Amino acid sequence: MGPILIFDKSLLQSLNPDEALWLDQFFLVNITPLFFIETLADLEKEVRRGRTPEQVVGSLAAKTPDLHSRPNVHHAALIAGELSGVASIEIGTGRPIVSGGKYTELGGKSGVFFEPAPEEDAFRRWQRGEFLDLERQRAKRWRAGLSLISPERQREIFSQWLGEHPPKTLSDVKVLADRVIDGPDRESSLGLGLQLVGLLPEAQVRVIDRWRATGRPALARFAPYFRHVYGVELFFYLGLATRLISDRRTNKVDIAYLYYLPFCMVFTSSDKLHADTAPLFARPNQSFIAGPDLKAALAALDRHYDALPSAVKLRGLYHFASQPPDQTSFLVTRLWDIHMSPTWRDASRRPDQPRDEKREAAIVDYLRHEVEAARSEPAAPPRDSDDVDSVIITRHVAMRRGKWNRFPPEVKPDSG
């Protein structure tokens, strides 16, 4: 399915429907809760050029990846689980953290089954111009919350850490934030971080008690994901204090996309703040791609495949574009080379195997029974969530995006 990618709203806004199709085709897209909320907030914006908010949101929803995508769990839920000791959050794998899986044990084999997430169902409704009143109220609260941010007050509070020689660059701000967080007074640092991530006072007491009971470890060992989000938050406020980050009110929203940076291999955005800050927090094995560069790369793929004969294109994307072209002149191909197994090219070189319809029918029958078992009698999760024989994800997928057929003509749409 390609490298795991996170995009922000600015990237999707820049794409036309055909370019958005290739984003979905060649990447496994981690959709952050922030993208969902930002898109919803457009319902409360005054829209120029005579378009209604519903039309703008519907257009974004129509370009949102629906095949190779999955919403990530909200960062607040991840932090709460990690700080309480209930969950262990891996931040070095680049994989999304998803919820809603139902486990099964069938015929001596284990599996996990995912129904469409509520966010996926919402995007389908938004494509049709259908919005729930609850969603409209959330949009109003989101925009009202932005107006409560007081940059001058934050500058006053955080200027105490700047010292006599304030940071001159954002890289210097990152160094200062790390020094504050990882300094010798671990308990004070933990207390500040718990406040910055918004933990309630009674919850802060419980976390500090647990931290003390475990031997007062470094925060990166005690709760690595919390340490990451804390680092982003403190960096932002110190950046405000130095005026290296402007007081544009949407910057607080934009910086929050970096909360989810551990859960991808590629991060892409057309936003200048992201271009300036994401590389400071990225792992060595992550890629940041500027939005205009990715848009151009997707457009190049569209031109490449559009030159194929009509008879080939009629067979659908999986007949001729199950993976990107071999040529490294394509940026997407180079990203596959960096982030995928070195053997990914081998699949295109293997000769086509004749269909075994009996075997295919048996597989479909087994999967159908697995889904029924997951829905009716889900099993207890295994100790290791990766220790399953199969993963089944159901979703509603458009048969056609832009000018492209995604599947061969014999694949018929499900009327349900």
Asked if residues 73 and 156 have their Cβ atoms less than 8 Å apart, the reply is no
Within 197-283, where are the H helices?
A: 201-213, 219-222, 224-242, 251-255, 272-281
pLDDT single digits (tens) 89-136: 989 889 988 876 677 777 677 777 666 667 677 777 877 777 777 677
- Amino acid letter, residue 104: T
Q: Which residue has the tokens 């993208």?
A: 35
Task: Output the CA torsion sign for 188, 77, 225, 287.
Answer: negative
Rounded distance between C-alpha atoms, residue 289 and residue 131, angstroms:
33
Instruction: Write the single-letter amino acid at 403.
Output: K
Cα-atom radius of gyration of the chain, to the nearest Å?
23
Q: What is the pLDDT along the chain (416 residues), one digit of tens a residue?
A: 799 999 999 999 999 999 999 999 999 999 998 888 888 877 777 666 677 888 888 888 889 888 888 888 889 999 999 999 998 998 988 998 887 667 777 767 777 766 666 767 777 787 777 777 767 777 777 666 666 567 788 888 888 888 888 999 999 999 999 999 999 999 999 999 999 999 999 999 999 999 999 999 999 999 999 999 999 999 999 999 999 999 887 888 899 999 999 999 999 999 999 999 999 999 999 999 999 999 999 999 999 999 999 999 988 888 899 899 999 999 999 999 999 988 888 866 666 667 667 786 777 777 677 777 767 777 676 655 566 767 766 667 777 888 988 888 877 666 44
- Is residue 260 within 8 A of residue 229, CB to CB? The reply is no
With H, G, I as helix, E, B as strand and everything else as coil, classify residue 153: helix
Q: Are 291 and 13 in contact (CB under 8 A)?
A: no
What's residue 416's pLDDT? 45
What is the per-residue pLDDT for 138?
72
Q: Which of 60, 21, 19 is nearest to 39 (CA)?
A: 60
Q: Which residues contact 91 (CB under 8 A, 6 or more apart)?
A: 224, 225, 228, 262, 263
Structure pTM? 0.87
Alpha-carbon separation of residue 328 from 174, 307, 334 (angstroms): 34, 18, 6
**DSSP string computed for 49-101:** TT--HHHHHHHHHHHS--SSEEEPPPHHHHHHHHHHTS-----SS--------
Distances (CA, A) of 89 to 4, 73, 233, 329, 375: 17, 11, 19, 37, 27
Q: Are 327 and 314 in contact (CB under 8 A)?
A: no
Closest by Cα among 253, 295, 291, 288 to 271: 291
